[in-house]
Amino acid sequence: EAQVTQNPRYLITVTGKKLTVTCSQNMNHEYMSWYRQDPGLGLRQIYYSMNVEVTDKGDVPEGYKVSRKEKRNFPLILESPSPNQTSLYFCASTYTTSGRVDEQFFGPGTRLTVL
Amino acid sequence: GENVEQHPSTLSVQEGDSAVIKCTYSDSASNYFPWYKQELGKGPQLIIDIRSNVGEKKDQRIAVTLNKTAKHFSLHITETQPEDSAVYFCAASSGSFKTIFGAGTRLFVKA
């Protein structure tokens, strides 16, 4: 089954404790992206990756890191989480056709609480 | 920076009525305009999209219109059903691979 998986689905942590949220897709998509969803703000792009070893900042990259060592995986790293990073996080992937982004396939989300 | 404004934030309609959600974008380079539906506890899922070389697209009860001159696009749902109740997001993306989403519209369809 074609899908995007994220782990963990729920996480409660404390300020300053490094964490990683994993994202994996089995559709051979070149493009992967991370978003955070907050009430009234919709989905805001954190980082995206056009292919292996190619990443770029979205609109809200501060406090986050990403890496793209393999095509299928795109982990999101919070080196020193703070309470304002409490949010619902989504990973997404898609093909890029002739340099354009197509339909994005979203994972089920990771609800992160930073105390 | 680029942004996408979406209205209304909440919409309540009677079953069988039509629902219209409107979005305005700022980046004139935007060329792809998808609409996503998010049900409770799930990730967004594409319901319809339109590219900049097309003015209108329809898929059964759902249609999207695009006015590039005015930089706005709209989602139209006809004959609404209770299962249409969800949060809807519009988005705009350009060749830079960035995607900007609207803030979302919570649609309630009353039976």
pLDDT tens for chain B, 111 residues long, are 789 999 999 999 999 999 999 999 999 989 899 999 999 999 999 999 998 888 999 999 999 999 999 999 999 999 999 999 999 999 998 867 788 999 999 999 999
Distance CA B46, CA B15 (A): 22
Other CB atoms within a 10 A radius of the CB of residue B103 amount to 21
Considering only CB atoms, A58 lies closest to which of B9, B32, B98, namely B98
Strands B45-51 and A42-51: unpaired
> A92 CA to chain B: closest CA distance, Å?
9
Note whether B100 contacts A: Cβ–Cβ < 8 A: yes
pLDDT in the model for residue A105: 95
Contact A108 B45 (CB under 8 A): no
Which chain B residues contact residue A59 at CB under 8 A?
1, 98, 100
Q: Would you tell me how many other CB atoms lie within 10 Å of the CB of residue A54? A: 12
- Pairwise CB contact (< 8 Å): A100 & B95: yes
In this prediction, residue A98 carries a pLDDT of 67
Report the residue of chain A nearest B101, measured CA to CA: A43
Which pair of tokens denotes residue A50? Answer: 């056009």
Phi, psi of B68 (to 5 degrees): -70, -35
User: What are the tokens at B87?
Assistant: 């949060």
Mutate to test the interface with A, among B99, B100, B101 (most CBs of A within 10 A): B99
For position A96, what pLDDT does the model report?
78
Amino acid identity for residue B40 in this structure: L
Dihedral through CA A55, CA A61, CA A64, CA A66, nearest 10?
-10
As a whole number of angstroms, the distance between CA A30 and CA A51 comes to 5
Q: How far is CA A71 from CA A12, A49, A68, A101, B57, in A?
A: 28, 10, 7, 16, 33
| Predicted local distance difference test score (pLDDT) of residue B80 | 98
Of B36, B43, B97, nearest to A101 by CB-CB distance is B97
pLDDT at B100: 92
Q: Note down pLDDT in tens along chain A; length 115 residues.
A: 889 999 999 999 999 999 999 999 999 999 999 999 999 899 999 999 999 999 999 999 999 999 999 999 999 999 999 999 999 999 999 987 766 778 899 999 999 999 9
Neighbours of B44 (CB within 10 A): 28
Distance in Å, alpha carbon of A79 to nearest chain B alpha carbon: 24
Q: How far apart are CA A76 and CA A93, in angstroms?
A: 14
pLDDT at site A57: 94
Tell me if residue B83 falls in helix, strand or coil: helix
Phi then psi dihedrals of residue B82, to 5 deg: -55, -35
Q: What token pair was written down for A83?
A: 């309470």
B 40-69 residues with CB below 8 A of A? 41-46, 49
Residues of B in contact with A41 (CB under 8 A): 103
- Predicted confidence at residue A15, as pLDDT, reads 97
